[in-house]
Amino acid sequence: MVFASLCLSSRLPVFLFPPSDTSHLGDKIDGKISTNYKWRMVVAYDGTKFKGWQYQPPPIPTIQWHIEDALIRITKLDRGDLCMVGAGRTDTGVHAFGQVAHFTTSFNYNNLDGFHSAINGLLPREIRIREISPAHPEFHARFSTTSKMYRYKIYNEPVMDPFHRLYAFHSACRLNPEAMREAASYFVGKHDFSSFGNAPSRNDGTPNPVKEIFRFDINESSAILDLEVEGSGFLYRQVRNMVALLIQVGREALPPDIVPKILEARDRKELAKFSLSTPPHGLCLMSVKYDPEKMNPPSGAPPASFGRTHTISKCKLPFY
């Protein structure tokens, strides 16, 4: 069997997982059979020290570069063979708890626990693979998404708690959560978000500005305000721009009904009259949801790995 890799940008399924009865399925490439195994991983990271998710050549430190470097060292495959794709390309300083990515290998793993541990062993402490599992042939980390959920954390006290300084925006001005909730409710539904999206920094063409927001919740816990927004997708910096406007409403500098007026303008310059984008460190990609049919593992695939659980006999004494 000669293995080859195929990496396409289209949404069509190109990676096939052979069933356990060894009757391989595959794509023919130049008359040869290609059998590739697709894998899905859930990634958490502290984005403070990194220049975002998207791969950039070293010495620029990105999340994707570190994960690909670990995979290359373990699998001995080239970067082009792995064809790694992330669900969302988080910016510099943005964190994630539930980033999702997929990659491919030309060989199978019967047990993923060791592979999982090996990857985490090569990654910086700020990056961890929470889960690794076999992926459906048609699964695509970016194009199979049905929704993404982001959380923006605000610390609302006169003096900033140093333990929150890397993960929450500090507002010394007392915010009005009820006014913010009213304003956030105007975002829910399907709208043209041209007023809230910055021009993309990458050559991705012109994105569709029409997005659907399923919910926009504001939760209070002592000094913390958690702003959670779930939607079908988001424009570049859309979440941080929406939060920035809500903070202005919370400061009672603007009325809640300013939101529909800015939406109707469909012009980024209109938002710039009232607020600037919030800093990245308060933002975290919490979860990504997918079409359930594309989440089913292939026939004969190994079970997912959520990390090894050691028995007490194998655990070292703490801190020694």
38, 138: one domain? yes
179, 281: one domain? yes
Domain membership flag for residue 281: yes
Provide the pLDDT for residue 165. 97
62, 31: one domain? yes
108, 51: one domain? yes
153, 178: one domain? yes
184, 268: one domain? yes
Q: Is 307 left (phi over 0), alpha (psi -120 to 50) or beta?
A: left
User: pLDDT below 70 — which residues of the chain?
Assistant: 1-34, 201-205, 312-320
61, 184: one domain? no
Q: What CATH number does the domain containing 74 carry?
A: 3.30.70.580
Q: What CATH number does the domain containing 207 carry?
A: 3.30.70.660
Domain membership flag for residue 4: no
Provide the pLDDT for residue 40. 98
79, 189: one domain? no
152, 273: one domain? yes
Are 81 and 5 within 8 A, CB to CB?
Answer: yes
CA distance 161 to 227: 18
This prediction has a pTM of 0.87
β partners of residue 191: 211
Provide the pLDDT for residue 309. 80
Provide the pLDDT for residue 218. 98
Domain membership flag for residue 156: yes
37, 98: one domain? yes
- DSSP-derived secondary structure letter, 142: T
Of 30, 69, 78, 91, the active-site residue reads: 91
Provide the residue range defining the domain that includes 130: 27-143+291-309
Q: Has 217 been annotated as catalytic? A: no
117, 181: one domain? no
Domain membership flag for residue 242: yes
Provide the pLDDT for residue 308. 85
Are 235 and 209 within 8 A, CB to CB?
Answer: yes
Domain membership flag for residue 17: no
Specify the number of domains making up the chain. Answer: 2
133, 181: one domain? no
Which residue type, as a one-letter code, is found at position 29?
I
CA distance 290 to 141: 9
CA distance 312 to 37: 35
Provide the pLDDT for residue 246. 99
Q: Give the burial string for 141-173 (b: 16+ CB within 10 Å, else e).
A: bbebbebbbbbbbbbbeeeeeeebeebbbbbee
What's the full length of the chain, in residues? 320
CA distance 223 to 228: 16
